[in-house]
Structure 1
Amino acid sequence: MAAIETEFAARLLAWFDRHGRHDLPWQHPRTPYRVWLSEIMLQQTQVSVVIPYFQRFVDALPDLPSLARAPQDDVLALWSGLGYYARARNLHAAAKRCVELHNGNLPRDLDALIALPGIGRSTAGAILSQAWDDAAPILDGNVKRVLSRLFGVDGWPGLPKVEKQLWTIAGNLLPDTRLADYTQAQMDFGATLCTRSDPACAICPLQQGCIALREGRVGELPSPRPGKPLPERVAHMLIIEDGEQRVLLQRRPMTGVWAALWSLPEHVGIEDARGWFDAHARGDFDAAQAGDTIAHGFSHYRLRIHPHRIAGVRPRHAVGDNDDLRWATRAELAGIGLPAPVRRLLQASNEKE
């Protein structure tokens, strides 16, 4: 075994003791529920963004049984603004599954954890190591980047062959003790020192064994994902207000983008939007005020949103009888699960009044 493999954990933990993050809210107290929640929130989201959401979430739903009992709308409202809402729906579904199968607790077993909605192998490893100090490797984006550079692993880490190689390396590097600290150290190291761009190689405690640094390939590794330009889609969103300045919201379908969230009525074409408006409200569609177009990026496409504000609308009886439509006051919007760009549109329209 190479020297860097035998010394990796010791060097990383020594760095962590001096420079790591020791005061994150999910570390005090460090319970399985809090670890699990933080790991789900931290997927594709930075620590600084997650912290206030985490605190608000655990204040409202402090343990797994309370999460399982909560209505989905409440869970989505607490998640609103974090994005990737499938995470919240899976979190809720997993909590219910734990109540049904595991006496309201997270299971201390890799396969049982992976069987829960929204928990993959790396997240399961992070839960086991941080909640119970068990020996379980992780392989999130930060760890993939560090290991690809350190061991000179070519190829996009998302490819099965490359990922398998990285899992083997990650498993071989596990220390015998301090597994919780070791897992946090790996995440901190990739997030703050061995970063995607402009890594701090000059002060890296692993620099002597880093193949990418030795070969001048730090900027090349990990290999980027083979890609193509993202397609662009257009949506016309209607900001419909009645005489009391309530806004008409429509629930999104239960599958797909922003599933089950409340949003604004949305249509691909303006004439489709007109037809929907005439069927659900009484007002002057031609008096709509166009707002500033905003762009929102998803992993597989970009969405250009064209807002149209129509004030002084009278509701039709169908609105009150439809579970997928509701009127909401401006004050109520803060407690409703809305996609982030929709919330920005509503805030912008309110500021222009």
Structure 2
Amino acid sequence: MAKKQTGAPLARPDHLWRRVEALHPDLSRRLVAWQADHGRHDMPWQKTRDPYRVWLSEIMLQQTQVVTVLGYYQRFLERFPSVSDLAAAPLDEVLTLWAGLGYYSRARNLHRCAQAVVSDFGGRFPETVAELVSLPGIGPSTAAAIASFCFGVRTSIMDGNVKRVLSRVLAWNEDLAIKLHERQLWDAANHLVPDLETDMPAYTQGLMDLGATVCTPRKPNCLLCPWSDWCGARKEGHPEDYPVQTRKLKRSERESWPLWLEWQGQVWLSQMPDSGVWAGLWTLPLFDSLLQLQTLVGDERTPMLLPQPKFKHVLTHLDWWLHPHRLVCSEPDAAALACALQGSQHGGLWVRIDDLAQWGLPAPMRKLLLG
């Protein structure tokens, strides 16, 4: 059974639980049957119950489309076929292989988690949600996915797709931006899981498939849904109003001026700090203003700076405008500028352009330097 909440019992709203009791266990039975006939079966991580491979796919799929993940997933397994191989690898190598997938904190936590599995659990993933969630980078929903897929634990995941699917079928119109309401929905979800542990992998996959292919955020295809005749939101006539979530992500803007310093087939790279955007990755030195960049370059070299087309890097919470300036320098200038950069926060090293593909560069820098 799913691990119970500690502390005071969670209140169970009558209107929600009347729906839950009316639909259990028929809801799960129908979804398991639908998944067998209409669900997705062609993704590589669906053909295994190896917790390492399931965990890897779950982390990669967070905020990232399946089509993007497929190539990265295969390359990671070729380079790190086991959790022990991943734990033993240098972080720079992990970040290099992750480069372009975005949300780089996932890669750092991936590495930390692999090391914790090896050091704390002898190289074997634990089987309980409580132990899984104690590992770096594994939240409650990811822990539930690993436990249900790999070990048959009767617990529900609660990612964005599942929130949408269950809030619609249960007509749960409370604001999920409020943690209490999300916990109440998760409590209901844990009651709706199949009675048989052996049905858990198909049920969990069915929830994901239903949200990804049928019960979509816009224009859900209710005619293809196995739960359409039970769906409270459909009966109300406006399923797109669910889930209710009032808190909106606040976007911000940033501007930076990268210095593209080139000398004899090499470019200068600096490593980003261990926290923040692009943490731990290698980039061109980034300046907060053109004046700051020109001050480091010096008055005598500023006329040689060639502005490159600016571009916008779009992140979940941030629009980041980058204004690269390129300077191809002579040997004396290269030595002087390297010394100036080492004496600032932009310390780093010269890297051969031919070797850049082997370095952990964020996608915009990779595209700028390598095309």
TM-score, with length taken from structure 2: 0.87
1:143 aligns with 2:152: no
- 1:192-271 pair list within 5 angstroms: 192-227=213-248, 230-244=251-265, 246-271=266-291
Q: Give, in angstroms, the shift of residue 310 of structure 1.
A: 1.6
Alignment check: 8 A CA contact 2:273 2:279 kept:
yes
- Which residue in the other structure is 2:66 paired with? 47
Q: Give, in angstroms, the shift of residue 272 of structure 1.
A: 1.2
Alignment check: 8 A CA contact 1:87 1:118 kept:
yes
Q: Give, in angstroms, the shift of residue 248 of structure 1.
A: 1.3
- Which residue in the other structure is 2:7 paired with? none
Alignment check: 8 A CA contact 2:129 2:144 kept:
yes
Distance change (3 Å), C-alpha of 1:62 and 1:136: same
Matched residue of 2:239: which SS? coil
Matched residue of 1:331: which SS? helix
- Which residue in the other structure is 1:180 paired with? 201
- Which residue in the other structure is 1:272 paired with? 292
Q: Give, in angstroms, the shift of residue 136 of structure 1.
A: 2.0
Distance change (3 Å), C-alpha of 1:126 and 1:319: farther
Count residues in correspondence: 344
- 1:1-353 pair list within 5 angstroms: 1-175=20-194, 176=196, 177-227=198-248, 230-244=251-265, 246-278=266-298, 284-314=301-331, 315-316=334-335, 318=339, 324-348=347-371
Alignment check: 8 A CA contact 1:240 1:313 kept:
no
Matched residue of 1:219: which SS? helix
Q: Write the letter of the residue equivalent to 1:118.
A: G
Alignment check: 8 A CA contact 1:319 1:326 kept:
no
Q: Deviations over 1:71-92 (max 9, x none)?
A: 0000001111110000010010
Alignment check: 8 A CA contact 1:319 1:325 kept:
no
Matched residue of 2:209: which SS? helix
Q: Deviations over 1:302-328 (max 9, x none)?
A: 211111122235432648989951222
Distance change (3 Å), C-alpha of 1:229 and 1:107: closer
Percent of aligned positions that are identical: 41
Q: Give, in angstroms, the shift of residue 301 of structure 1.
A: 2.5
Q: Give, in angstroms, the shift of residue 298 of structure 1.
A: 2.6
Q: Give, in angstroms, the shift of residue 3 of structure 1.
A: 4.1
Q: Deviations over 1:243-273 (max 9, x none)?
A: 22x2211100011111101111111111111
- Which residue in the other structure is 1:351 paired with? none
Q: Distance in 1 between matches of 2:250 and 2:121?
A: 44
What do you get for the CA RMSD once the two structures are aligned?
A: 2.2
Matched residue of 1:185: which SS? helix
Alignment check: 8 A CA contact 2:259 2:327 kept:
yes
Q: Write the letter of the residue equivalent to 1:207.
A: S
Alignment check: 8 A CA contact 2:250 2:317 kept:
no
Consecutive unaligned residues of structure 1, counting only runs of 5 or more, are 349-353
Distance change (3 Å), C-alpha of 1:273 and 1:188: same
Distance change (3 Å), C-alpha of 1:297 and 1:332: same
Q: Distance in 2 between matches of 1:261 and 1:285?
A: 27
Q: Distance in 2 between matches of 1:6 and 1:14?
A: 13
Matched residue of 1:304: which SS? strand
Distance change (3 Å), C-alpha of 1:276 and 1:157: farther
Alignment check: 8 A CA contact 2:48 2:54 kept:
no
Q: Distance in 2 between matches of 1:319 and 1:26?
A: 49
TM-score, with length taken from structure 1: 0.91
* Greater alpha carbon shift after TM alignment, 102-111 vs 56-65: 102-111
Consecutive unaligned residues of structure 2, counting only runs of 5 or more, are 1-19
